[in-house]
């Protein structure tokens, strides 16, 4: 991967719908070179997926999201991998990460309401072998997601000055 690939990745991460000719101009490549590089980055699984960031609250969906922290006893010879692979299969799990710190795994989950999240944790996650502890944090409001701001400040509006 070279500097031109890095430029492509940065541009696509910011806006995957940007026209090919604009990407080509920014990266100083032809459109066919951009297409080929993107295909190669997809083949290498560097580009995993093209997606859309949606403000579900504004869309009126009403889904509830939560962050669930897990303390896990790693499995002999597998560490956290097999446990994580099992948890990742649940449709409620939007993301799953191995973390440093007090908790080992962190899940971002979504469901129709808080009751469904509670049931998911108590009936699906907590009973899994090697899960020692869970901590559930309900997401009350999203201000920024994947680099996109979810709030708009009116023109000229200033933050209050505090001392």
- pLDDT tens across 20-49, in order? 999 999 889 999 999 999 999 999 999 988
User: How far apart are alpha carbons 11 and 26 in whole angstroms?
Assistant: 9
- pLDDT tens across 77-112, in order? 999 999 999 999 999 999 999 999 999 999 999 999
Question: Across residues 121-132, what is the average pLDDT?
Answer: 96
Q: Which domains does the chain have, with CATH numbers?
A: 3-43 (1.10.10.10), 62-141 (3.30.70.920)
What's residue 60's pLDDT?
72
Question: Across residues 131-158, what is the average pLDDT?
Answer: 84
Is residue 52 very low, low, confident or very high in pLDDT (cuts 50, 70, 90)? confident
Q: Is the pLDDT of residue 62 over 90?
A: no
Task: Please name the residues in contact with 43: beta carbons below 8 A apart, sequence gap of 6 or more.
Answer: none
Is residue 121 very low, low, confident or very high in pLDDT (cuts 50, 70, 90)? very high
Is residue 156 very low, low, confident or very high in pLDDT (cuts 50, 70, 90)? low
Is residue 147 very low, low, confident or very high in pLDDT (cuts 50, 70, 90)? confident
What's residue 135's pLDDT?
97
Percentage of the chain surpassing pLDDT 90?
Answer: 66
End-to-end CA distance of the chain: 48
DSSP-assigned letter for residue 153: P
User: How far apart are alpha carbons 106 and 145 in whole angstroms?
Assistant: 16
User: How far apart are alpha carbons 152 and 54 in whole angstroms?
Assistant: 15
Q: Which two tokens stand for residue 88?
A: 């990742």
């Amino acid at each position: 991967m070279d500097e031109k690939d890095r430029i492509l990745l940065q541009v696509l991460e910011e806006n995957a719908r940007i026209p090919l000719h604009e990407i080509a101009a920014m990266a100083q490549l032809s459109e066919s070179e951009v297409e080929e590089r993107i295909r190669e980055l997809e083949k290498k699984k560097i580009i995993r997926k093209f997606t859309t960031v949606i403000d579900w609250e504004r869309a009126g969906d009403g889904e509830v999201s939560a962050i669930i922290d897990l303390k896990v006893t790693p499995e002999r010879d597998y560490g956290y991998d097999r446990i994580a692979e099992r948890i990742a299969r649940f449709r409620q799990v939007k993301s799953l990460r191995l973390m440093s710190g007090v908790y080992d795994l962190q899940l971002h989950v979504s469901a129709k309401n808080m009751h469904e999240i509670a049931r998911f944790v108590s009936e699906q996650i907590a009973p899994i072998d090697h899960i020692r502890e869970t901590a559930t944090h309900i997401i009350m409001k999203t201000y920024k997601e994947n680099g996109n701001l979810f709030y708009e400040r009116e023109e000229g509006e200033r933050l209050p000055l505090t001392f």
